[in-house]
A and B are shown apart, each in its own frame.
Chain A
Amino acid sequence: MKIVLEHLTKTFPGRGKNAPDVKAVNDLTFEIPDGKLVGLLGPSGCGKSTVLNLVSGLLKVTSGKVFFDDDDVTNIPAEYRGVGIVFQNYALYPHLTVEKNILFPMENFKGDKKLSKQQMQERALAAAKLVQIDGLMDRKPAELSGGQQQRVAIARALVKQPRVLLMDEPLSNLDARLRLQTREEIRRIQRETKITTVFVTHDQEEAMSISDLIIVMKDGVLQQTGKPQEVYDNPANLFVAKFLGTPPINVFHGCVKGGKLMLGDDVIFKVKHVEDQDVWVAIRPEGFLLDKHGCLHCQLQNVEVMGRDVSIVATHPAMEGESFRAIIPSTTRVDDEAATVSFVLHPEKVLPFSKADETRIDAKLV
Chain B
Amino acid sequence: MENRSMKGWLYLLPAILFLGVFMVYPLIDVFIYSFEEGYNSASQTYFGVGTYNYSYVLHDPYFLQAVKNTLILVAITVPVSTGLSLLISLGLSNIPKLRNLFQTVYFLPYVTNTLAVGLVFMILFRKTPYTDGLANLVINFFGGESIDFIDGPYWAKMFVLCLYTVWVVMPFKILVLTSALASVNETYYKAARVDGTSRSRIFFRITLPLISPTMFYLIITGFIGAFKAYSDAVALFGTNLNAAEMNTIVGYVYDMLYGDSGGYPSFASAAAIILFVIVLTITCINLLVSKKHVHY
- A residues within 8 Å of B by Cβ? 56-58, 78-80, 83-85, 87, 89, 91, 93-95, 104-105, 108-109, 160
Total chain B interface residues with beta-carbon distance under 8 A? 20
With A57-B194, A78-B194, A79-B197 already in contact, 11 other A-B pairs whose C-beta atoms are closer than 8 Å: A79-B194, A80-B196, A85-B194, A87-B190, A93-B206, A95-B212, A95-B296, A104-B192, A104-B197, A105-B196, A108-B201
Cβ–Cβ contact B295 & A91, under 8 A: no
> Which residues on the A side are within 8 Å of B260 (C-beta)?
none
> Which residues on the A side are within 8 Å of B185 (C-beta)?
89, 91
Cβ–Cβ contact B193 & A79, under 8 A: yes
User: Smallest Cβ distance from B185 to chain A, in angstroms?
Assistant: 7
CA–CA, A85 and B198, complex, Å: 18
Determine chain A's interface SS by DSSP, over half rule: loop
Cβ–Cβ contact B195 & A160, under 8 A: yes
Cβ–Cβ contact B206 & A56, under 8 A: no
Cβ–Cβ contact A56 & B194, under 8 A: yes
Choose from A58, A85, A93, A105 the contact partner of B188 (Cβ within 8 Å).
A93
Cβ–Cβ contact A108 & B196, under 8 A: yes
CB closest residue in chain B, given A88: B187
Cβ–Cβ contact B187 & A89, under 8 A: yes
- B residues within 8 Å of A by Cβ? 185, 187-188, 190-198, 201, 205-206, 209-210, 212, 295-296
> Which residues on the B side are within 8 Å of A108 (C-beta)?
195-198, 201
CA–CA, A83 and B190, complex, Å: 12
Cβ–Cβ contact A94 & B194, under 8 A: no
User: Smallest Cβ distance from A127 to chain B, in angstroms?
Assistant: 14
Cβ–Cβ contact B190 & A58, under 8 A: yes
Choose from B193, B196, B198, B296 the contact partner of A94 (Cβ within 8 Å).
B296
CB closest residue in chain A, given B295: A95
User: Smallest Cβ distance from B198 to chain A, in angstroms?
Assistant: 7
> Which residues on the B side are within 8 Å of A95 (C-beta)?
209-210, 212, 295-296
CB closest residue in chain A, given B196: A79
Choose from B190, B197, B209, B296 the contact partner of A91 (Cβ within 8 Å).
B190
CA–CA, A89 and B296, complex, Å: 19
> Which residues on the B side are within 8 Å of A105 (C-beta)?
195-196
Cβ–Cβ contact A91 & B188, under 8 A: yes
> Which residues on the B side are within 8 Å of A91 (C-beta)?
185, 187-188, 190-191
A-B contact pairs, 29 of them (CB 8 A): A56-B194, A58-B194, A78-B193, A78-B194, A79-B195, A79-B196, A80-B196, A84-B194, A85-B190, A85-B194, A87-B187, A87-B190, A87-B191, A89-B185, A89-B187, A91-B187, A91-B190, A93-B205, A93-B206, A95-B209, A95-B210, A95-B212, A95-B296, A104-B205, A105-B196, A108-B196, A108-B197, A109-B196, A160-B195
Cβ–Cβ contact B187 & A104, under 8 A: no
User: Smallest Cβ distance from B296 to chain A, in angstroms?
Assistant: 7
> Which residues on the A side are within 8 Å of B187 (C-beta)?
87, 89, 91
Q: Which 6 residue pairs of A and B lie closest in terms of their CB atoms, listed nearest first?
A: A79-B196, A95-B295, A105-B195, A91-B187, A91-B191, A95-B209
User: Smallest Cβ distance from A84 to chain B, in angstroms?
Assistant: 7
CA–CA, A160 and B191, complex, Å: 13
Most buried by A among B193, B195, B205: B195
> Which residues on the A side are within 8 Å of B197 (C-beta)?
79, 104, 108
User: Smallest Cβ distance from A93 to chain B, in angstroms?
Assistant: 6
CA–CA, A79 and B197, complex, Å: 8
> Which residues on the A side are within 8 Å of B205 (C-beta)?
93, 104
> Which residues on the A side are within 8 Å of B295 (C-beta)?
94-95
> Which residues on the A side are within 8 Å of B196 (C-beta)?
79-80, 105, 108-109
Cβ–Cβ contact A58 & B193, under 8 A: yes
> Which residues on the A side are within 8 Å of B210 (C-beta)?
94-95
User: Smallest Cβ distance from B16 to chain A, in angstroms?
Assistant: 36
User: Smallest Cβ distance from B134 to chain A, in angstroms?
Assistant: 44
CA–CA, A109 and B296, complex, Å: 28
> Which residues on the B side are within 8 Å of A104 (C-beta)?
192, 195, 197, 205
Most buried by B among A56, A57, A89, A93: A93
CA–CA, A78 and B192, complex, Å: 10
User: Smallest Cβ distance from A82 to chain B, in angstroms?
Assistant: 9
CA–CA, A104 and B198, complex, Å: 12
Most buried by A among B190, B196, B212: B196
> Which residues on the B side are within 8 Å of A56 (C-beta)?
194
